[in-house]
Amino acid sequence: MKIAVEKGQEKTLLTDGQQRVTITDIEEGNSENKGIPFFAVRFENDEGYVSHRFYQSEAGMPAIIGLFEEAGIEAKPGKELDTKQLMGKELMIEVGERSYIDPVTHNERTLKQAVNFLAS
């Protein structure tokens, strides 16, 4: 079997702690369990990458607004935000792990994710 390695796939996950990163990819979708719209951001630097999903829900909006604001994009009532505006933006993130119970399997899962976005 031949396996093609695409650009960026050779990188490892970023280590925990503060990292200066660039947003290099954004994918949109719906959550597997409840169908909630989300966009997944790939934060990357020379050391590696981490991906993080932002859910478009009442609970998820503070994180979405925080990301846009720290990326230098004003988020105000009545204005629509476009995820394409985030591409290429540089910022500081904190990388850490979060555990949760999978609603389907009821097993504990741990994800590496980005938190605490700061203008770079």
Q: For the structural domain made of 17-119, what CATH number should be given? A: 2.40.50
Cut 0.85: pTM above it:
no
Considering Cα of 18, then 38, then 65, then 69, what sign does the dihedral take?
positive
pLDDT in tens, the chain (120 residues): 877 666 656 788 899 999 999 999 999 999 887 899 999 999 999 999 999 999 999 999 999 999 999 999 999 888 899 999 999 999 999 998 888 787 778 888 877 888 887 776
Torsion sign (Cα): 42, 43, 44, 48? negative
Pair 65, 76: CB distance under 8 Å: no
Q: Answer positive or negative: Cα dihedral of 14, 20, 22, 28.
A: positive
Cα separation, 89 vs 106, whole angstroms:
37
Q: CA–CA separation, 73 vs 81, rounded Å?
A: 8
